[in-house]
Amino acid sequence: MPTFPQLALPSRRVTSTDVAREAGVSQSAVSRAFTPGAHISAPTRRRVLEAAQRLGYQPNAIARSLVTQRSGIVALIVGDLHNPFYPQALSQFAQELEEQGKRALLIIHDARQDVQETLNAARSYQIEAAIVFPTRLNAAPPSLGDVSRGGVPVLLFNRHLPGHNLLSVACDNFAGGRLAAQVLLDSGAKRLAFIGGDPQTSTHQDRLAGFTERLSEAGLSPIAAPAGNFQYDWGVQATLDMHAAGEWPDAIFGANDIVAIGVLDALRHLGRRVPEEVSVIGFDDIQESARLSYRLTTIRQPLEQMIADALQVISDPQPASGPRLHPGELIWRETVRRTL
Amino acid sequence: MPTFPQLALPSRRVTSTDVAREAGVSQSAVSRAFTPGAHISAPTRRRVLEAAQRLGYQPNAIARSLVTQRSGIVALIVGDLHNPFYPQALSQFAQELEEQGKRALLIIHDARQDVQETLNAARSYQIEAAIVFPTRLNAAPPSLGDVSRGGVPVLLFNRHLPGHNLLSVACDNFAGGRLAAQVLLDSGAKRLAFIGGDPQTSTHQDRLAGFTERLSEAGLSPIAAPAGNFQYDWGVQATLDMHAAGEWPDAIFGANDIVAIGVLDALRHLGRRVPEEVSVIGFDDIQESARLSYRLTTIRQPLEQMIADALQVISDPQPASGPRLHPGELIWRETVRRTL
DNA sequence: CTGAAAGCGCTTACAG
DNA sequence: CTGAAAGCGCTTACAG
């Protein structure tokens, strides 16, 4: 039979039945040939695989999902990607998922709509779990718990919702806040400020609480602790505002790295020397923080551990009992004054 | 009938048949109630929707895909997310896709494996199209075309593969390179350098070719044009290397913004003043470029247009006839010397 | 080990 | 407009 080029025709998709015919076996056999633990003889398997190869057969994961009731799809729900921390986390998640033979459905959640709706839309794809990156998610959508009761585990990453019994994996922000205070205190700082993020988030609250607690143990309290959001522009503006107000700290704890970087840029703009006049410390350890022009001292979130933990939790969801916390690690660079 | 709380039981998933029973209609009716253009009377529709509401029914998109042969899934394949340009593009794509009622499958492509394999894995999910962000993809996988012949349009975003008839949407990099040269020439530059990206990519090649062409029209040629990759560290290193070699340009065209930002940081590190001693121009206009401490003059890629175009192309794929090019736009900021 | 058959949860002609 | 029925492409007991 001569072969005709089929450039114009949309080639009909080839199914297991086609392969069965080609290989001279039953359709069940070809299914078994593609199912890891199945009972099938080596010769049969080989014939099937060869036939599949010839025909360009690829099992249909959609059909498989329908019968196995497992889609292999995990939804990654993210608000926005302005903070570089999230793309980093996102891509590591997707990569890990792939290594487990799963797929990541990326959903950009519009802050204007209800998370619940977003989750529902995802649920129709029979997702096995949803990981929520609450970049813009402040308050607790009361309905969020429903989904996890509906059989699909929902995990909040990098945040927890006090009072809601959701799965969550986060950095130990309270301890991290304490650590930041400790480092700054050790450097000799006396007038410390906190430039907050979104005040409704647990990340902001916990970091601030830890920071304040440690300060009070030293008989101090923050000379300022403005809250805003977790973005660069806010770090710049808050610093400029402080300067305009004449209230001048000798150490600043930025709620996260991107805010701290805004602080650094504003400080440079104002002509203040870091760390000679002001020490600055951040939180996250995003890649940018290591750059030549920042060299930001910061508390690193153990992303890899957190992701591994999150994946482990959703694959074997237990009733949540508070957030799962991972300790942050101090990364010494050049924005905090060395003790003499 | 009393209701029992079912906290411990994984609630069986409710199907259209359950809803049909609850509403006292046929299963077909409930399907119609959820199909936009279907013929169904308003009262029936309402009864179905109410029953669905009571039962918490959500149509199963997997089952629907199987019969309609349309999954509504578009694969977004990305190498790495180091260049902030990609997360930006990625999230805009996902958002647009959602607005069209589609879903984004995020696939992180490991540079060590064949793109073809990645594409095949995606294909098993019956994706309707694949958008490839070739962050690390240099050479042309010869098999790439197969997939597009297999019925699934594959579109390269922000790059094209000369000699391969793939769908592709990109910025007009050649014209952009010319524009960069023009701007620098107008500022009075005489000794111009290009700090390249990955030399195997069309983005690098086209930008360099346009740049060089315009220079030659002015009777000049680049005093240096080292190639490396599209990352920050390379921008730093290339600048430091130039300095060490004593070859000093009065204007630098960075292959993309993140490289140009590396250049800027290195220049600051070396104590060279921008733009007084050296002008710098980039390409992309990523968000970072607007920051207080960079204020990078650059050629903006019209991301929104490019994305809209890409989506339009994959929804109605025509035989590719070369890349679809969008003109870049000059964004004036503060790293190129103003003409006197 | 292998095949025939049922069934996953939908959509969509086909009759009425 | 509505329902009964076939069928999308698989997996998986059930017999052999």
Distance A122 CA to C13 C1' (A): 30
Q: Is the CB of residue A156 inside 7 Å of nucleic acid strand C?
A: no
Kindly report which amino acid residue has its CA closest to the C1' atom of nucleotide C8: A67
pLDDT score, position A9? 35
Nearest neighbour of B61 by CB, restricted to A13, A56, A125: A125
pLDDT of residue B11: 54
Q: In terms of CA atoms, which chain A residue is nearest residue B265?
A: A293
- Bigger pLDDT: A152 vs A140: A152
Is residue A38 over pLDDT 50?
yes
Residues of B with CB below 8 A from A291's CB?
232, 265
Token pair of A126, please? Answer: 């029979």
Q: How confident is the model over A267-320, as pLDDT tens digits?
A: 999 999 999 999 999 999 999 999 999 999 999 999 999 999 999 998 887 776
Tell me the DSSP string of A281-335.
EEEE--GGGGSTTT--EEEEP-HHHHHHHHHHHHHS-----SPEEE--EEE--SS
B-chain residues near A13 (CB < 8 A)? 151
Nearest-CB residue to B106 (from A63, A88, A94): A94
A170 sits in the region (left: phi over 0; alpha: psi -120 to 50; else beta) called: beta
Of A76, A80, A87, the CB nearest to B81: A87
b/e A119-142 (16+ beta carbons within 10 angstroms → b): bbbbbbbbbbbbbbbbbbbbebbe
Lowest mean pLDDT among A165-179, A206-220, B250-264, B306-320: B306-320
pTM for this model (two decimals): 0.90
Work out whether strand B329-331 and strand B297-300 pair parallel, antiparallel, or are unpaired: antiparallel
Give, for B103, the enclosing helix (H) or strand (E).
Answer: strand B103-108
Task: Suggest the residue from A103, A269, A288 to mutate for an interface test with chain B (most B CBs closer than 10 A).
Answer: A103
pLDDT per position as a tens digit, A230-276: 999 999 999 999 999 987 999 999 999 999 999 999 999 999 999 99
CA distance B235 to B289: 14
pLDDT at A6: 30
Which residues neighbour B288 within 8 Å (Cβ) at sequence distance 6 or greater? B84, B257, B258, B261, B294
| All structural domains of chain B | 16-59 (1.10.260.40), 70-171+304-326 (3.40.50.2300), 173-302 (3.40.50.2300)
**Are A308 and A96 in contact, with CB atoms under 8 Å apart?**
yes
pLDDT, mean over chain B? 88
Contact B292 A266 (CB under 8 A): yes
Average pLDDT (B162-179) is 89
A40 touches strand C (CB under 7 A): yes
